[in-house]
Amino acid sequence: MATYAQEFRRYWPALLGCGIGMAIGNSLIALTANLFAPRLIAELGWTKAQFSLGSSVSIFLIFCFPFIGRFADRVGPRRAARVGFVAVPLGFIAYSLQTGPIYQYFVIMFLLATFAVLTSALVFGRVIVDRFDTARGMALAVGMSLSPLIGAALLPVIDYVIETQGWRTAYRVLAGISALGGVLAIGLISLPSQAVPAQSVREKPAPLPRAELFALIRMPAFRLLIAGMVLVSLPIVMMSSQLKLVLEESGASSHLATWLVSLSAASVVAGRIICGYALDRAPVHIVSFIAVLLPAFGFMTIASPFDQTWVLVCAILVVGMATGAEGDIGAMIISKKFDIRHYGLVYSCLSAAIGFAAAVGAITLGITLSRTNSYNGFLLIVGLFTLAASVCFYFLGKAPDHVHDKTEGTLDVIADAVSEPGGSAVVGA
């Protein structure tokens, strides 16, 4: 088994490719959506209420994700990423060709979101898991941390293009960025030097029998993982769009609230790195329990009457760090508790659970705000639910693992060579 440093030296090109792929694919769509909203509403004659209905598309995606995840398992990460990076540029181009009716936007959004998930951790997380063993937690953290960093660099550029050249040109620029970035990402993860030794070769995944699928769903680990992710994901809408309002209600000035929102974004990256380091040195269920337990108290602290600046800073730090840790935790648990052949399927179910939780959280937030005109009720609810999520993650340690082969990898590079006519199963290390 390679040492911590050896794994990074051997597989850093693949890790860089995964980071780039996750940053300029699905993540880029989400990061840039807010930049286009004002121009689309103004120039295409939509209302804000009509535009806000776009978030409901995620409900329908819940039913698509498991099929997409199984597709990724069947064809391998490299081929799945190719499909994703064809779909994302075409989606941006389609956005640039809209003529006015808002149904066009919804249809494009649905199709793009369906296939763009093939440029997310569902695919690239599998590449990292395949290559890294000793340093898996840190590798996942580094790969996922590139998304906000690259996004932060690209956002001002796209905003400038929107202001000077128009939103249609900006969408075409995004199409070019995603296409070129996709070629680079797929090229890096496909380098021959990134393959594992020939003795690690396994056959390409076979169709998943119905009995095995039902056995997977009945696994206590699967149910605990899904329940934990649903419970911990309820505050997503609040954290992504209304955090400043929450902080101002808690007594922060507008300037302080803005600073705290920025601190939250920075703590996401810090949370990933710290959690990744811990996951490589401690049992995954213990790290998950602690990482999810802390934000439960963070939410309750924000809802409390204690509104001193240092109290809010501490609360935002633990909440933001946990938000960053959740991605590492999900991927790590899947790699430890489930057969790696089903990584895409389980991860897609995880994504569907998070989407469901986000929709339920948005509805719950709307109800509590309409009845109390305050965020405190919702903060207490998500605090208690997050506390319950930490218990689910703790009991994952007692749930039996799926029996699977502990080989060092199941790289799609090798799978492709085995499956293609005349292909050889021996790929250079």
Q: What is the pLDDT of residues 382-403, one digit of tens each?
A: 999 999 999 999 999 887 765 4
| Least-confidence region, from 21-35, 99-113, 174-188, 235-249 | 235-249
Averaged pLDDT, 216-224 = 88
Averaged pLDDT, 184-205 = 64
Helices 57-75, 77-96: axis angle to 10 degrees equals 140
Predicted confidence (pLDDT) per residue in 58-88, tens digit: 677 788 888 899 899 989 999 999 999 999 9
- Judged against a pLDDT cut of 70, whether residue 49 lies above it is answered with no
- What's the CA angle centered on 58, arms 52 and 59, to 5 degrees? 105
pTM: 0.80
- Judged against a pLDDT cut of 60, whether residue 414 lies above it is answered with no
CA–CA gap between residue 323 and residue 108 (Å, rounded)? 28
More confident residue, 38 or 409: 38
Q: What percent of the chain has pLDDT over 70?
A: 86
Averaged pLDDT, 238-259 = 81
Helices 121-131, 167-189: axis angle to 10 degrees equals 20
Band the pLDDT of 176: cuts 50, 70, 90: very high
Predicted confidence (pLDDT) per residue in 92-118, tens digit: 999 999 998 888 998 998 899 899 999
- Give me the pLDDT at residue 2, please: 67
- Judged against a pLDDT cut of 80, whether residue 29 lies above it is answered with yes
- Give me the pLDDT at residue 34, please: 75
- Give me the pLDDT at residue 152, please: 77
Domains of the chain: 1-207 (1.20.1250.20), 208-401 (1.20.1250.20)
**HEC readout, the chain:** CCCHHHHHHHHHHHHHHHHHHHHCCHHHHHHHHHHHHHHHHHHHCCCHHHHHHHHHHHHHHHHHHHHHHHHHHHHCHHHHHHHHHHHHHHHHHHHHCCCCCHHHHHHHHHHHHHHHHHHCHHHHHHHHHHHCCCCHHHHHHHHHHHHHHHHHHHHHHHHHHHHHHCHHHHHHHHHHHHHHHHHHHHHHHCCHHHCCCHHHCCCCCCCCCHHHHHHHHHCHHHHHHHHHHHHHCCCHHHHHHCHHHHHHHCCCCHHHHHHHHHHHHHHHHHHHHHHHHHHCCCCHHHHHHHHHHHHHHHHHHHHCCCCCHHHHHHHHHHHHHHHHHHHHHHHHHHHHHCCHHHHHHHHHHHHHHHHHHHHHHHHHHHHHHHHHCCCHHHHHHHHHHHHHHHHHHHHHHHCCCCCCCCCCCCCHHHHHHHHCCCCCCCCCC
- Judged against a pLDDT cut of 80, whether residue 212 lies above it is answered with no
- Give me the pLDDT at residue 370, please: 84
Averaged pLDDT, 245-269 = 82
| Least-confidence region, from 121-125, 172-176, 283-287, 417-421 | 417-421
- Give me the pLDDT at residue 324, please: 65
Predicted confidence (pLDDT) per residue in 286-304, tens digit: 999 998 898 899 999 998 8
| Least-confidence region, from 95-109, 234-248, 280-294, 331-345 | 234-248
CA–CA gap between residue 350 and residue 356 (Å, rounded)? 10
* CA–centroid distance for 79 within its chain: 20
- Give me the pLDDT at residue 146, please: 86
- Give me the pLDDT at residue 115, please: 93
Output the average pLDDT for the chain.
82
**Among 64, 108, 59, 63, which Cα is nearest to 88's?**
108
Averaged pLDDT, 146-150 = 84
- Judged against a pLDDT cut of 80, whether residue 196 lies above it is answered with no
- Judged against a pLDDT cut of 80, whether residue 372 lies above it is answered with yes
Band the pLDDT of 205: cuts 50, 70, 90: low
| Least-confidence region, from 57-61, 220-224, 371-375 | 57-61
Averaged pLDDT, 315-325 = 79
Write b or e for each residue in 132-149: b if 16 or more Cβ atoms lie within 10 A of its Cβ, otherwise e.
bbbbbbbbbbbbbbbbbe
Band the pLDDT of 24: cuts 50, 70, 90: very high
- Judged against a pLDDT cut of 60, whether residue 410 lies above it is answered with no
Averaged pLDDT, 145-172 = 89
- Give me the pLDDT at residue 116, please: 92
- Give me the pLDDT at residue 361, please: 86
First to last CA, the chain: 14
More confident residue, 321 or 224: 224
- Judged against a pLDDT cut of 60, whether residue 405 lies above it is answered with no
- Judged against a pLDDT cut of 90, whether residue 45 lies above it is answered with no
